Amino acid sequence: MRSCLIRCLVGIIAVSSFVSCSKELSLEEGNAPAASSFYATLEGNLWNADSLQSLFEINGGISINGLSKTGDQISIFLSTFKTGVYTLNSSSDSYAFYTNIFTPIEVDYYSNIGMAGGTVTITSIDTINHLVSGSFTLTLVNPDKNTSVTITSGVLNSVPYTGNGVINPPPGNSTDTLEALVGGNKFNAAQVQSQTLSGAIIIAGISNDGKQNLELSMPIDIVPGTYDLDFVTGTYAAVYYTDVSNPLISNMNGQLVITSNNTTTKTIQGTFNFTATSLDNATSLSITNGYFNVKY
């Protein structure tokens, strides 16, 4: 099972480019957010993706991720990106999950276990303005506790999405860099995303074809020095994957070296190396000569 930080990185950042959610959304008196919004009823209470919305089209499918300010995350992965009705169950390629990234003990709920499932309807896709609308209803199950959560009246209303199966390189004036040797092969991120969340800087690099993802997390006030990369503690962590269902993580087997962190210009630079290991099987991969220089 994924740790809290894995859920944050992989569920939100790793599988997609960021879509800003800084627009004003009103929750006063239980009113649903206005146009261009992403909300639902979670266990009888209004849930609103008012912290982060991230929709990304890749490999013919779509990754839909929403995070509320209270840490409740809903993610939906559809194997194709077309209008129509998608039925989610234990045998479907499409699936969904829910978690709260702020809880100290992880409790994840999935649509592809036992009697869990749901329905996602994509009603419109505006390929000119890159907007998607639809609805969803989900019953998700935690396999460890055999408990469930119910999500009803889910709405996607003209929510922006990015991607077209190929990641576009950053603008020519961008100095953001994330590179490494992955299994001895050069990885140079075509797109580098950085985000501050809950006191941490999260840096994500995505390859040109969108298939390789490499991310780092560290405290926002980190000072120059050497730190052990350990996903268990979640303070200094790294993850690499080509398959979102099988992330390879750092587990007290690597180091992060911060050479500078200018909190005024919000620019951070450093190096890293670690052995990326799977939580589910014996898969491992050596990641060396890592380097990053990004604004956050």
Residues 241-296: tens digit of each pLDDT: 887 667 888 888 899 999 999 999 999 999 999 999 887 777 889 999 999 999 98
Whole-number pLDDT of residue 33: 41
Whole-number pLDDT of residue 123: 95
How much helix, strand and coil, in percent to the nearest 5, is found in the chain?
5, 55, 40
Q: Are 55 and 78 in contact (CB under 8 A)?
A: no
Place of tokens 């209004």: 46
The predicted model gives 169-192 an average pLDDT of 78
Whole-number pLDDT of residue 168: 41
Place of tokens 């003209």: 158
Give the confidence band of 163 by pLDDT, cuts at 50, 70, 90. Answer: low
The predicted model gives 100-123 an average pLDDT of 87
Please state, in angstroms and rounded to a whole number, the distance separating the CA atoms of residues 218 and 226.
Answer: 12
Token representation of residue 197 = 């969340």
Please state, in angstroms and rounded to a whole number, the distance separating the CA atoms of residues 157 and 177.
Answer: 34
Residues 68-107: tens digit of each pLDDT: 888 899 999 998 999 999 999 989 989 999 988 777 666 8
The predicted model gives 32-61 an average pLDDT of 81
Q: What angle do CA 274, 270, 193 make, to 5 degrees?
A: 90
Whole-number pLDDT of residue 29: 37
The predicted model gives 126-151 an average pLDDT of 92
Q: Which residues of 249-275 are buried (b: 16+ CB within 10 A; e: fewer)?
A: bbbebbbbebeebeeeeeebbbbbbbb
Token representation of residue 102 = 């702020």
Using DSSP bridges, classify how beta strands 185-188 and 177-182 pair: parallel, antiparallel or unpaired.
antiparallel
Whole-number pLDDT of residue 229: 93
Whole-number pLDDT of residue 174: 53
Other Cβ atoms within 10 Å of 122 Cβ, number: 21
Please state, in angstroms and rounded to a whole number, the distance separating the CA atoms of residues 191 and 211.
Answer: 12
Question: Can you give the C-alpha Rg of the chain in angstroms?
Answer: 19
Q: Give 269's Cβ-side CA count (13 Å radius).
A: 7
Q: DSSP 3-state assignment of 22?
A: coil
Q: Are 121 and 94 in contact (CB under 8 A)?
A: no
Q: DSSP 3-state assignment of 270?
A: strand
Is the confidence at residue 58, as pLDDT, over 90? no
What does the mean pLDDT of the chain come to? 81
Percent of all residues in the chain with a pLDDT value above 70, rounded to a whole number: 81
The predicted model gives 33-60 an average pLDDT of 82
Is the confidence at residue 15, as pLDDT, over 50? no
